[in-house]
Amino acid sequence: MGKYSYKKGAFWEHEIMDQLRARGFEVMRAAGSGVAGDCPDVVALKTTKKFALECKAWKNSVYIVKEKFRIMEAWERTTGLPVFLAWKSPRKEWRFFPLSSLRETGKNFVVLQSDLESGLTLDDLT
């Protein structure tokens, strides 16, 4: 991952973290999660709701390689926290997709651009 891509990803992760804090969540970011790939990017905790986010800020369809997807599934099983794909498309609000909603392709799991509006909103998620 290039330096620009890392900074861009970190920027969007901080944005969603700020929005979650404003809703009363304690939030933690796993620095370098995109490099190590062994945990989601963000964990959000509140007495009534707990979840983790794998954040993507992409214009078009979002792909997660199968190995990373399987790691997120295992993390979800081990921790008991649901993991959502958090997708920030340009000039759109964040949308959230449970791992079970991603479609398997040859090498990846995907959420298509046409699926964007069907994702959960931040209000739905929290």
Domain range for 98: 3-125
33 catalytic residue (yes or no): yes
Check residue 50 and give its pLDDT: 97
Which of the following is catalytic: 33, 61, 89, 101?
33
Give the chain's domain count.
1
| Statement: residue 9 has pLDDT above 80 | no
**CATH code of the domain covering residue 50:** 3.40.1350.10
Residues 6+ apart with CB under 8 A from 28: 42, 43, 45
CA 118 and chain centroid, separation: 15
Please give the model's pTM, rounded to 2 decimal places.
0.88
pLDDT band at 37 (very low <50, low <70, confident <90, very high): low
Query: In this predicted model, what pLDDT tens digit does every residue of 62-105 receive, in sequence order?
Result: 999 999 999 999 999 999 999 999 999 999 999 999 999 999 99
